[in-house]
Amino acid sequence: QTVVTQEPSFSVSPGGTVTLTCGLSSGSVSTDYFPSWYQQTPGQAPRTLIYSTNTRSSGVPDRFSGSILGNKAALTITGAQADDESDYYCVLYMGSGIWVFGGGTKLTVL
């Protein structure tokens, strides 16, 4: 069973830049996995940030960007703000109509 890996936690200073990654327990992530990214605060539904690797969802500020870095998908937040403190999830399309979410990264802004 392939596992989608994310850093459990990360911290960034206000105004700083952070890159969260999304990998595979076996193999490399490519655009063929259609990686997408979601932000979730406690008690709220997820909010779509990025889909198809690097396309920002409507209304998402350009401080958020997606890419492939090496063998992983990546979400980069530039100019981090206090309200970016959230859980971030990636999801990969594994083929054959199956998707797998990563375990999520808890981002702290301090």
Partner 1 sequence: EVQLVESGGGLVQPGGSLKLSCAASGFTFSSHWMHWVRQAPGKGLMWVSRIKSDGSSATYADSVKGRFTISRDNVKNTLYLQMNSLRAEDTAVYYCAGALYYFDFAYWGQGTLVTASS
CB of 49 to partner 1, least distance (A): 10
Token pair 């327990």: residue: 25
> Min. distance of Cβ 65 from partner 1 in angstroms?
16
Nearer to partner 1, 59 or 82 (CB): 59
State the minimum distance, in angstroms, from the CB of residue 38 to partner 1.
7
The residue (of 45 and 110) whose beta carbon lies closer to partner 1 is 45
DSSP string, the chain: ---EEE-SEEEE-TT--EEEEEEESSS---GGG--EEEEE-TTS--EEEEETTTEEPTT--TTEEEEEETTEEEEEE-S--GGG-SEEEEEEEEETTEEEE---EEEEE-
Q: Which residue's CB is nearer to partner 1, number 44 or number 71?
A: 44
What does the binding site for partner 1 look like in residue numbers (CB under 8 A)?
1, 34, 36, 38, 40, 45-48, 51-52, 57, 87, 89, 91, 93, 96-104
